[in-house]
């Protein structure tokens, strides 16, 4: 059976994964029943063997079928990385993979998964655990902006949709993949957030009252930053750098164009900001960047009690 096979893979890796593995193992053990997923995700093309990846940076960029994620994936491919390309659109995903594999020196494989379903997020995590021994860089970039939408939408699990796609999926995926992230200052976790940030109302985190698309986006983006700060402190002794950023304001991407808003900056500007967190010698850890500069996030991100409430809520929602 695939499930038992993939879980023994995960366990074998946890054994050799040191402190990060232990932290994640403790978390995963608690969620083992929930980790059972539906249909298996298979990459296109097949992931390279561990030998073929020796000496190469392995990078997972969620939402790399378009916009910022695509630009970051292509740039890292040009620098020789193996890029795990992800999104829902197979057509656009394969295009990115072919561009990277066709021009080298990097390589790529595409994994399709809808992050609006926790079952699919788990399946994505299981597929990466099955196919890779190491993920040096994890960029949680996939996102939606339900700008101007006043009708509240929910995920497959019944959670408010922006919270589910922009934040909760990255929370679960990151927790699942921690055993693969080497404990090294070269290892990076980057959460692509935004300057749009609204505090979470813990009496109504799914925004059942007073919903707006803008509020749901801004709440989910602050949740990403709160998770970033929490995770950075949890991983401090491992060396792994965990940061969040606002890449650039109103970049010329599908997200902005489909909102009917005039772009103000280029994708390249946002790409450089993300790359600096991935490639610079030491961007620090537990920081929020606005572009390439460390900045101050919404006050709730510095409230340890609020972060603890978010952590407890998130673990409950993902079945931890």
Interaction mask 148-187, ligand NAP, x per CB under 6 A: -----------------x----------------------
Stretch that binds ligand NAP, among 10-18, 177-185, 251-259, 287-295 (CB under 6 A): 251-259
CB burial of residue 119 (10 Å; 0-12, 13-18, 19+): middle
Contacts of ligand NAP in 100-119 (CB under 6 A): 114-116
Stretch that binds ligand NAP, among 4-12, 62-70, 97-105, 306-314 (CB under 6 A): 62-70
Q: Mark 226-258 as b/e (b = at least 16 C-beta within 10 Å).
A: bbbbbbbebbeebebbbbbbbbbbebbbebbee
* Residue 217 is among the residues annotated as catalytic for this protein: yes
Interaction mask 211-250, ligand NAP, x per CB under 6 A: -----------------------------------xx--x
Which stretches of the chain are assigned E, i.e. beta strand? 58-61, 82-87, 107-112, 137-140, 188-192, 241-246, 287-290, 293-295
Is residue 255 part of the contact set for ligand NAP (CB under 6 A)?
yes
Q: What are the respective helix, strand and coil percentages of the chain, to the nearest 5?
A: 50, 15, 40
Interaction mask 258-297, ligand NAP, x per CB under 6 A: ----------------------------------------
User: With respect to ligand NAP, which residue has the nearer C-beta, 11 or 292?
Assistant: 292
| β-sheet with 82-87: strand ranges across | 107-112, 82-87, 58-61, 137-140, 188-192, 241-246, 287-290, 293-295
Is residue 142 part of the contact set for ligand NAP (CB under 6 A)?
yes
**Token pair belonging to 118:** 């926790």
**Token pair belonging to 198:** 């609204």
Is residue 74 part of the contact set for ligand NAP (CB under 6 A)?
no
Is residue 190 part of the contact set for ligand NAP (CB under 6 A)?
no
Do the bridges between strand 293-295 and strand 287-290 make them parallel or antiparallel, or are there none, so unpaired? antiparallel
Residue that is written with structure tokens 């074998």 in the block: 12
Is residue 77 part of the contact set for ligand NAP (CB under 6 A)?
no
Among 10, 69, 77, 205, binds ligand NAP (CB under 6 A): 69
132, 217, 288, 289: the active-site residue:
217
Residue that is written with structure tokens 């656009």 in the block: 92
Interface contacts to ligand NAP, rule CB under 6 A: 63-69, 87-89, 92, 114-116, 141-145, 165, 192, 194, 246-247, 250-251, 253-256
Residues assigned a catalytic role? 217
């Amino acid at each position: 059976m695939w499930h038992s096979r993939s879980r023994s893979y995960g366990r074998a890796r946890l054994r050799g994964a040191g402190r990060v593995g232990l932290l994640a193992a403790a978390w995963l053990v608690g969620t083992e029943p929930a980790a059972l997923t539906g249909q298996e995700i298979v990459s296109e093309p097949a992931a390279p063997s561990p030998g073929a990846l020796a000496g190469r940076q392995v990078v997972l960029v969620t939402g790399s079928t378009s916009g910022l994620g695509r630009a970051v994936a292509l740039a890292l491919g040009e620098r020789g990385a193996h890029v795990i390309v992800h999104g829902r659109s197979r057509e656009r995903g394969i295009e990115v993979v072919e561009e990277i594999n066709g021009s080298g020196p990097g390589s790529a494989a595409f994994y399709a998964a809808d992050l609006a379903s926790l079952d699919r997020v788990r399946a994505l995590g299981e597929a990466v655990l099955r196919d890779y021994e190491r993920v040096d860089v994890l960029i949680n970039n996939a996102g939606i902006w339900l700008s101007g939408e006043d009708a509240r939408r929910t995920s497959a699990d019944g959670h408010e949709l922006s919270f589910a796609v922009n934040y909760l999926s990255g929370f679960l995926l990151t927790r699942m993949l921690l055993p693969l992230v080497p404990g090294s200052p070269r290892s990076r976790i980057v959460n692509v957030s935004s300057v749009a940030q609204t505090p979470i109302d813990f009496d109504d985190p799914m925004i059942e009252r007073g919903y707006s698309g803008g509020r749901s986006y801004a709440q989910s983006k602050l949740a990403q930053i709160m998770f970033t700060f929490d995770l950075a402190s949890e991983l401090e002794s491992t060396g792994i750098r965990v940061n969040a950023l606002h890449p650039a304001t109103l970049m010329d991407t599908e997200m902005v164009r489909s909102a009917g808003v005039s772009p103000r900056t280029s994708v390249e500007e946002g790409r450089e900001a993300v790359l600096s967190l991935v490639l610079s010698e030491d961007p620090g850890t537990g920081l929020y960047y606005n572009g390439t500069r460390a900045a101050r996030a919404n006050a709730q991100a510095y409230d340890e009690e609020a972060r603890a409430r978010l952590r407890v809520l998130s673990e409950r929602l993902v079945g931890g």
